Chains A and B, each alone.
Chain A
């Protein structure tokens, strides 16, 4: 018997469609993996789309200020799921301590150095990429320098104002700039998969998902997530994960996925923005918008 689709099944089917469309249309495809819940769900959806396989590399931009459990979770999951994992970083800024934690920049500039710049140059192949070696479990300098021109990203429209303007397939020009005012249309299930040389595409399969959808899907599919999202017994948990100097945990007693779902639906977070623990959003009226135009994810 046919079973009418529920809300999560519809979201899943559409995201799978977007992922398959990306894989069909782009040769140099990469998926960004921040190790957080959203991009881990995105990774899971890729395994759905490709029947257990992930036929493109995952890229993680390591700011070296990530909470250590994130890196441990990343490496373990990548080994277990046999992922082709690439890691990039802004070695120069880190060496010269051009960062917020080192006291030399403000938060936005730090994000720009360690995330936007690192991402842009790692994608283009100008900066070194490190590839996970599944035999040794360590990372090795990757010899490949081909630019990635299709970049799959787990942003959601409900996160923040500027993200609600995104298309599923969003062309960026050479400088990664986003021309918000002049985006081509998307009609029914047809997307802009042709693009001029010199431009690249951001692909957003999770655009329609909300924070609650993400947690309900994690519960439905039993997707592993970092324990940092749960109360560790001290009445605090992370709602959104980032670099430790700029991300603070929230007060919460949610000990598992179900608790989080209840908390989001009826509890104290029902009306509080998810990124409220992310300091860089507050530095300027449109901080994230400014960063996004420059290529921040």
Chain B
């Protein structure tokens, strides 16, 4: 079949007013890439408004954009050369629109960074250079524009190269070329200009055609974030399909795979693609689906890897670089949503190591937060382990975004696990206990008055497994033995203390945190505090346990949903109530919570 040529996505960035839109407009016009109606439409609109036509207007397709005279968002335009097709992404140069610039640059195969020869290197020339490096844009060429304003002076060219290549070198970027151009007059855009007799490098068009097409990273270790598990039963379909887009590597039927962080294993039975001949092998780039030889319980968000290959890392404390775009700063002590591959966790800023000042590349130490447009080296801590690769090894699983107030507010790249410092939660517990206001009554005097000690009894298991009934019966039974006990129902909690969280999308971890803090208070009061929550996993339990420290926690699990955690007591799904209550009391006695005569 006579297929189309490939597309190369090129983003054009640089400081505001350095001439990006003019360069693109000129290029589109000179390569005959404009749809016939377009040029006429814009020229007519200029005539109507008695405004001289400018090439930049071609891209400023939106009304309000023209009225403000700056590129607000990235506009995509399409053009082709004899060699291939291009998608040109025009990214705005104003600092306020950095989030639009990164949106454009994050999906680019190559970048053109425009610097005004007359005005020289500006803050956003550097900031955009830095962003290109963090976003992982693989090829960068620099256009030095508006040479008509500096008499095509070679010294200007040399000076800018010297300064800018030094800057790029520091952040690990090497520009492929530095091209002197004039967008307004069309010099060195499509054809070489006589004004640059001292320049022997490529024109812009030649540079575009010599950028390399991206290739899929098939030779790397296999990674596929599990996007979803499908079991559509309509029309007798009984397939259970693990769906996702393969980031790196290859895989075939019969291969053994492992899902992380759960560690569950399986063997590929089939590759599932709609309206496609049977497939035995697939790899990087394809959005596909798999069935496994035997059914295992895994969830969206896990990373599918191939056994026998290099495994990714798993950790909660990560050393990263973050660029922050949110209106409110990224601060410590606040939980954000963290998205890496298909995983979603909550994350906290644990430490700010350095903040880079893009304007002069200096390092600001001692900052405690990331303000808007800051780029910082930080330690972040996720609520439960995330699976990742070092950004230098596998990009797709080495980068993440942070969501604040429903919007992606920052992005980052991961270098390694941080194993040296104390975790945020441990720091918190130490501080909290240090500042705890103790009354005049010691836990010992409370225990001797009450004839028992405080303890948090947490019942978990599948939905509808009788947790709440058990919790209430336990409270009733202990109460009748004159013990101080309190059962907290989940709705009591959700509709009261946690009512503010109803509007928060990412609230599960916050519910758990508050319950943990509340448990610490209730048990400090000497109570046997009982609650029941559906389907906790080992990380949830570990978190509650830490928050409840130094008080004690007893976990009672109903059913078999918690195979990787050793609960204080495991009950079968069809447990006998009386026997279960006796069992719990025995455990409580063994742990010296309640006296012998209670059992």
Binding site for B on A (CB under 8 A): 1-2, 4-10, 12-14, 16-17, 20-21, 23-24, 47-53, 55, 82, 157-158, 160-162, 164-165, 167, 171, 180-181, 183-192, 194-197, 208, 210, 212-213, 216, 219-221, 261, 271-273, 276, 285-286, 289
* Given A10-B285, A216-B4, 17 extra CB contacts under 8 A: A2-B218, A20-B228, A20-B244, A47-B275, A48-B274, A51-B274, A82-B234, A157-B76, A161-B75, A164-B61, A164-B75, A165-B74, A187-B102, A187-B399, A188-B106, A271-B34, A276-B37
- Interface hit among B121-129, B235-243, B572-580: B235-243
Total inter-chain residue pairs, C-beta < 8 Å: 190
17 of the cross-chain contacts (CB-CB < 8 Å) are A7-B4, A20-B228, A48-B274, A48-B287, A51-B232, A52-B274, A158-B76, A161-B61, A162-B62, A164-B76, A164-B77, A180-B62, A194-B407, A195-B406, A273-B35, A273-B36, A273-B37
Interface of B is mostly: mixed
Whether the pair B100, A5 counts as a contact (CB closer than 8 A) is: no
A-B pairs with the 8 shortest C-beta distances? A161-B61, A185-B99, A184-B407, A16-B287, A13-B287, A2-B283, A53-B232, A190-B401
Instruction: Contacts A187-B411, A272-B36 given; indicate if A180 touches B73 (C-beta within 8 A).
Output: yes
Q: Give the residue of A165, A192, A220 whose beta carbon is less than 8 angstroms from that of B75.
A: A165
| B325 within 8 A of partner (CB) | yes
| B281 within 8 A of partner (CB) | yes
Which chain B residues in 63-99 approach chain A with CB under 8 Å? 63-64, 72-78, 85, 87, 99
Q: Which residues of A contact B100 (CB under 8 A)?
A: 183, 185
Instruction: Contacts A161-B62, A164-B76, A194-B406 given; indicate if A47 touches B274 (C-beta within 8 A).
Output: yes
Q: Which residues of A contact B401 (CB under 8 A)?
A: 187-188, 190
Which chain B residues in 24-62 approach chain A with CB under 8 Å? 32, 34-38, 45, 48, 61-62
Whether the pair A185, B3 counts as a contact (CB closer than 8 A) is: no
Which chain B residues in 174-200 approach chain A with CB under 8 Å? none
Q: Give the residue of A2, A4, A7, A285 whose beta carbon is less than 8 angstroms from that of B281.
A: A2
Q: Which residues of A contact B234 (CB under 8 A)?
A: 53, 82
Whether the pair A197, B283 counts as a contact (CB closer than 8 A) is: no
Whether the pair B4, A5 counts as a contact (CB closer than 8 A) is: no
Please, how many angstroms separate the alpha-carbon atoms of A6 and B214 in the complex? 11
| B328 within 8 A of partner (CB) | no
Count residues of B near A (Cβ-Cβ below 8 Å). 80
Whether the pair A188, B107 counts as a contact (CB closer than 8 A) is: yes
Whether the pair A8, B3 counts as a contact (CB closer than 8 A) is: yes
Q: Which residues of B contact A183 (CB under 8 A)?
A: 73, 99-100
Q: Give the residue of A7, A20, A190, A273 whose beta carbon is less than 8 angstroms from that of B3.
A: A7
Please, how many angstroms separate the alpha-carbon atoms of A52 and B77 in the complex? 33
Q: Which residue of B lies closest to A165 (CB)?
A: B73
| B509 within 8 A of partner (CB) | no
Q: Which residues of B contact A8 (CB under 8 A)?
A: 3-4
Q: Which residue of B lies closest to A11 (CB)?
A: B7
Shortest distance from the beta carbon of B402 to any chain A beta carbon, whole Å:
10
Q: Which residue of A lies closest to B249 (CB)?
A: A2
Which of A181, A195, A208, A289 lies at the interface centre, i.e. has the most chain B CB atoms within 10 A of its CB? A181
Whether the pair A17, B245 counts as a contact (CB closer than 8 A) is: yes
| B503 within 8 A of partner (CB) | yes
Instruction: Contacts A17-B245, A272-B35 given; indicate if A51 touches B289 (C-beta within 8 A).
Output: yes
Whether the pair A271, B35 counts as a contact (CB closer than 8 A) is: yes
Please, how many angstroms separate the alpha-carbon atoms of A286 and B406 in the complex? 31
Contact with A along B142-170 (1 / 0, CB 8 A): 00000000000000000000000000000
Whether the pair B406, A190 counts as a contact (CB closer than 8 A) is: no
Q: Which residues of A contact B230 (CB under 8 A)?
A: 50-51, 53
Instruction: Contacts A13-B285, A164-B61, A164-B77 given; indicate if A20 touches B227 (C-beta within 8 A).
Output: yes
Shortest distance from the beta carbon of A272 to any chain B beta carbon, whole Å:
5
Whether the pair B62, A289 counts as a contact (CB closer than 8 A) is: yes
Shortest distance from the beta carbon of B168 to any chain A beta carbon, whole Å:
22
Shortest distance from the beta carbon of A14 to any chain B beta carbon, whole Å:
8
Which of B245, B272, B300 lies at the interface centre, i.e. has the most chain A CB atoms within 10 A of its CB? B245
Please, how many angstroms separate the alpha-carbon atoms of A26 and B7 in the complex? 31
Please, how many angstroms separate the alpha-carbon atoms of A9 and B7 in the complex? 12
